Structure 1
Amino acid sequence: MVVNLSQGHSLVSNWVAELRDTEIQKDRMRFRRNLERIGEVAAYEISKVLASQTIEVTTALGTATAEVLTEQPVLTTILRAGLPLHQGLLNYFDKADCAFVSAYRKHAADGSFEIALEYFSSPELEGRIVIVSDPMLATGASLVKTVQYIREEGEPGSIHIVAAIACSVGIEYVQRHIPDATIWCGAIDEELTAKGYIVPGLGDAGDLAFGAKIQS
């Protein structure tokens, strides 16, 4: 299943527009905060489909019943670009466990690249709700490889993927390889360049959030 958060939330559309705007992108704090906001909305929407249970809460004047999550998710993000989106999810799933993975495009001299995974830190994943955040779902290769790596550590009970902008090509790739995953995104673009970048997209989310890096 794919959920485009812009379709039902006008504020998400506003934040995506600001993420794309080359003038507004000059303000790194605002760029990070807009990614964080999308993560917060995604967390709220995801919470609606998670299992809950009824509890009793003692108040100053009596007893109230409330619905609370049956279990907390594991918030997994792809370093470094995913950190602001991850923070938005963590703001709402504030009792969640967290996992971190380093996945990046390792470029060859001919311009081709492979997805390199060099770091993974996580809690127990068997049977857990896993939410993976990455601001740009382009080819889908890094997300698929990340989930495959996660499954080597333990089979999650369910998988949710959160992206600020997703490309339809990447969505299709993820759906072929992880058919049981639910994808939540702020916007969907149709075009992907030969080098695997989303058009119109927004550029390099990691560089815009944290500064330019040395290419490897």
Structure 2
Amino acid sequence: MARNVEAYSALRDLPAHFLAGFCLGCAERGSGIFVTLADPEDAEWFSQVLEVAWKAPLGEVDEDELIEILEDFETRTESMDVDDPGSRGFSVVQSAMLAVNAIAVHLNPSPARAEMSGQTLETVMGSFDFKLGGSEVVITRAGEDEGLGRLQRMEQDAQNAFVESVRALTGDQAEPRLGRDFLESLRQSCAPVRDEFKAATSSVAELAGWDQE
């Protein structure tokens, strides 16, 4: 599975406070997975966490509340089945982790931790591509580009668009800020991909029998 290595390398050169923005984009797009697969109570919890994550860079949330969310996530996932990448529980926890990781990166900016959000969503969408493609392994010959499924490519394109948008700001402003206008534009740009991922999740759940669990 080819990874978006150029985007992840670029994270090391972006202003540190934009790393949380990268994670927020992943969380917003991945939210389509969680709200489709999680039970109603957990879906409500996740929606609240995601809203808090978007407010955090604007200074609208107390740091103690953010730390409490990180601790609560650990408690919630202790007893869940997260070892099998083909399980419903794995996709639920991984997509929830995206919102939690956005908070963690806001508190402690780290390119490696931000990359984890991108890698996580690529892994889930790559597995969905595999399932929707009939679970057939595609053999790539030497010298050929490793094929990407539609969903994983959409995620990579969204990640690349984020990097380019920050680079454009860096060129225009000496000290670009992760402000309200940027965040609102970012969240809006994630909506079409989020909805595509949500629809794909429903299809995968039906194929895998998750909707009967």
Common fold by TM > 0.5:
no
Decide which structure has the larger Cα Rg and report it: 1
- Name the structure, 1 or 2, with higher relative contact order (CA <8 Å, separation 6+): 2
**TM value normalised by structure 2:** 0.29
Q: Which has the higher helix share?
A: 2
Higher strand proportion (structure 1 or 2): 1
